[in-house]
Every structure is written in C-alpha cells, then in structure tokens.
Structure 1
Amino acid sequence: MRGEDLRYKKRSDFRLKCGAAYYTMLRYGLWLSGKYKFAETTGKERLPELQTSHKTPLLRKLKDVDMRYQYNKIRNLELAVQRLDKILLPPGRTLSYWKCIGKPTYRKGYLDGIVLHAGMVGHGCGGGLCQLSNLIYWMTLHTPLEVTERHRHGYDVFPDSNRTQPFGSGATCYYPYGDLMIYNPTNRPFQLCLWVGDEYLEGEWRSLEPPEHTYRIVEKDHEMRSEWWGGFSSHNRLYKQVLTPDGRLVSETLAAENHAMMMYSPFLPEKAEAEV
C-alpha cells in the first residue's frame, strides 16, 4: 500500500474558515445542481423483507471524558434518526446523509457531544453523529447498494483486541462536505430503518423481496508501521465478497483502503478506549 504523511497539518484559523466556506459552497452547489436524484420520500410502513441489520452500543467507558457528552450524543442521534428513519431509496436515486439530516445546530435541539479532531477527544454541537454514519456504512456494505462517497477516519482508535469489526469499517462525517452518499443500482426500492433503543443504536436495510446474495467483508494487507517522523500508523484494505445463499463466491471487490494514525499503545494507555 502507498505511503503517506498522516500527521495532522496545522492551519491558521483564517485558512480553515476560508476552506470550510469554499467546500461548503461546493457541497450546496452539488445538492442543487441536478447531478443526482436524491432520496426524499419517507415510507409510512417498513418494507417487508429484511436485507441486513446491525447495532452498536450507545454508551462506552471513555477515559477522562465527561459522561454528560455521551448522554448528549444519544439526544443527537435521536434527532438525526428522525430525519432518516424509513426513508426510501428508489432505483437510480442517491441517499445523502447530510442532505437528509441538515445542519446540526443548538436551535434544532442538538447538544454538545464527543468529537475527535487532530487526535484529541473534545466536544461540539452534534457530536457523536459519526456513530450513525458508521452504522449505515457498515450495513450498506452488506447489500447491493453502492457507496459513492465515504470518508475514512484519520485515527485508529481501538486496539485489535477490542474490535468487533475490522479497522476502517466506519465512515466519518462532518457537515456538509464530509458526506456519506449511497446509490441504488438495482431495480427495486430499498428502505433505511433506524431507531435508538435503550442500549443500542440499531438499523436495517429493507426491500420488497428477500436478498439474492449474502455479503462478507474481508480485511487484507493489515499493517502497523513505525513512521520515520515518530508515531505509529495502521493500514489495511477491506474487500466486499458477494456469495450465493449456499456460500459460493460470486465476486470480490475493493470496498475501502484505510490509512490512519494509531491512538492506542503508545498514544493511549493499553486499557483506555476512545470513540469517534
């Protein structure tokens, strides 16, 4: 895999503001350009056939982080889920995560939640919504839907011993240009169903017919490097395997290539956890 300098590049406040304004303008222009036909309709009932499902815990024990921000995150997730639950993705249309949710603001009821920036755990309005984009991305990899825009996390925050999914299997989000976009290339509609339970954020992709294939995500070329400039990095590739119901391999395609700074050993104590 190619090498790259993963160190955080310090920018002036002026440059950061100008860059954010520029890319925000481009994103709004893209949404209005007519280049994509976006998913906009929400179904009243769930479509009958489950395609895939997943859930992730709402609360984690985080080192030196006020639990208030985690409870705030749950409120943020509830507000975002209201905008996405039961949305229909017809054939030929694209689902835009941020176009559906809109900008998280205090006025809309969003609270300060946990955010990760430049390798530091902090807080900001709408923090914690990456948990929702991570969930949607992982589920989408287990369907025939196509991810047309996804942004990888810049930091590898969990040791391998604590993982339930491969490193790099999530999708970070930052409004509005750090989007997650999903295209439906099939001839049938899909529906995204989401809810915030007592302990888990849960989701499903549903459709009108049972799934034709099963899907498996395989990690390859996983490597940890000691960088010449100091620090350690993690790298891998994720492949999406399509299988017949009886387990025969139909195809294998590259789903994602990941490169990230490691935040654990030596950057975090061995038993510490962090959350994106």
Structure 2
Amino acid sequence: MKRHKSLLLRQLGETEMWMQHNKVTNLKLACEQVDGVLIKPGETFSFNKLVGNATRRKGYVKGMRLSNGQAKPGIGGGICQLANLLHWMVLHSPLTVTQRSNHSFDPFPDNGRVLPWGVGCSIVYNYVDFQFRNDTDQTFQLRVGVGERYLEGEILAERSTSSSYRVFARGERFLRAGTEYFRRNEIWRTVIDRRTGAAIGEELLKENVALVKYMPTGVDVIDVDLRQYPPAS
C-alpha cells in the first residue's frame, strides 16, 4: 500500500547530536515490537500497547524528547519518529486513524523536512497514544526497520485496493500575535482511483495551529489579533 523512509540523523536547531545517535538505539528496540504485526479486519493497532513503556531495563537509552517545546534528554526519546512514520503510511491506506495527538509547539525550523509540517505524532506512555483501526475486509501487515541512514517502513495488503491516496498541506502560514509566533496549515487527502488515476474524493484531515519556538526567517508573517492566539502559559 505504501512505503516510506525517514532520515535517522538530522540536525534540529541547537539540539545535541548525541541524542540523535541514541535515538537510533531506541528505534531499533521499538521496531522489533512492531515489525511483522498483522492488523486483521475489525482490529485496532495501539502504539503504546504494542511498544510498551520505554524503560532503561528494556535497553532504552536517553534520546531527544520534546517537553514544552524544548528538546530534552529522556529515556526512550525519539521513538515518536516511528509513530510519525506509521501515521504517514496509514494516511495512504484505507485504515482509519482513531487516536492521534500532535505536538502543541513547532520546536525547530524546517531543515531537510520531507513530510508536510503537522503530520507528526506525540507519544507519551500510557496516556498519549497513536491508534488506528482496520475497517476493511482484508488483513494488513506492518514492516519496519532501521537501516544505515533511514528508518524504513511499508504497509502490505492481502490484495490490491481500488484507491490510492495523496496527502498534502494547504494554507501554510506564520502568524504573529503580540510577541509570539504561531504556525498554521491544513492537512488534506485526495482519494485517487487506481484504475483511471482520477481524483474521486478529497477531505480535510486536520487543521494545525502551534506555537513557534524559534524566530521565523525568510517567510512572510501575518499579524493577527492577540485575543485569537493568547500567549502560551
């Protein structure tokens, strides 16, 4: 159904690269729990239930975790990259996302970004989860793994489906409210008939608004009413 890969080591703002290298260790452990999993008709996939609590006892190390928009070391840090990968692939399938939270902050400037901003996932065991359900009549399988440079994944289906999907962003803009900056966009999905290549449907998946934790440069900024975007606490 969909194959994707994301770069393992990427400089993000002023974060220290040792956290990125440790993240690779954490991703390998998390991938072992997910790789090969089958999602049968009517079943729901839960990231937290399958991967579990990322603890030192299980071999997880300190990687990058986001807390209040700041990158800080934390045991198991970085496994949300796996949730991001899964979410992106699920959006390109007939599987139904039932639970997903994104970060309320935009912590880093776009540096080598491949996917649209706003399609990531926030994972916090055991109350912020990523879940999706199989509402179709066939079984799907997840394959994920850590390569030399990339986190790699694919979703397999028992048979070909009648539709494919294109996911993209619209309305990308930066807003200034008082002394703070916000980022906004919309995530849309087009459904395409595999046989003809024609678009047969379009839907708005998510409208994103997040506090920006860096100074936007090289982009147009729109001033907005401070009452619409109150200062972050």
Tell me how far apart the structure 2 counterparts of residues 165 and 62 of structure 1 sit (CA, whole Å): 15
1:235 matched to 2:184? yes
Superposition pairs of residues 145-224 of structure 1, within 5 angstroms: 145-159=95-109, 162-224=112-174
1:91 matched to 2:47? no
Letter in 2 for 1:86: G
Tell me how far apart the structure 1 counterparts of residues 189 and 47 of structure 2 sit (CA, whole Å): 22
Larger helix proportion, structure 1 or 2? 1
Number of the residue aligned with 1:73: 23
The 1:159–1:67 alpha-carbon spacing in structure 2 relative to 1, beyond 3 Å, is closer
Post-superposition offset of 1:61: 2.4
User: What is the percent sequence identity of the aligned residues?
Assistant: 39
Tell me how far apart the structure 2 counterparts of residues 65 and 142 of structure 1 sit (CA, whole Å): 31
Superposition pairs of residues 1-276 of structure 1, within 5 angstroms: 51-159=1-109, 162-228=112-178, 230-245=179-194, 246-266=196-216
Structure 1 gaps, min length 5: 1-50, 271-276
Post-superposition offset of 1:158: 4.6
Tell me how far apart the structure 1 counterparts of residues 89 and 22 of structure 2 sit (CA, whole Å): 24
Tell me how far apart the structure 2 counterparts of residues 186 and 114 of structure 1 sit (CA, whole Å): 36
Letter in 1 for 2:185: N
Tell me how far apart the structure 2 counterparts of residues 64 and 160 of structure 1 sit (CA, whole Å): 13
Deviations 1:212-265 (A, max 9, x none): 21101132233321013x210011211111101232111112212211112332
Letter in 1 for 2:159: E
Post-superposition offset of 1:67: 2.4
Structure 2 gaps, min length 5: 219-233
Larger strand proportion, structure 1 or 2? 2
Letter in 2 for 1:242: V
Letter in 2 for 1:196: V
Number of the residue aligned with 1:9: none
Q: TM-score, normalised by structure 1?
A: 0.74
Instruction: Output the aligned Cα RMSD.
Output: 1.7
Post-superposition offset of 1:63: 4.4
Report how many aligned residue pairs link the two structures.
217
Post-superposition offset of 1:163: 2.8
Tell me how far apart the structure 2 counterparts of residues 218 and 62 of structure 1 sit (CA, whole Å): 23
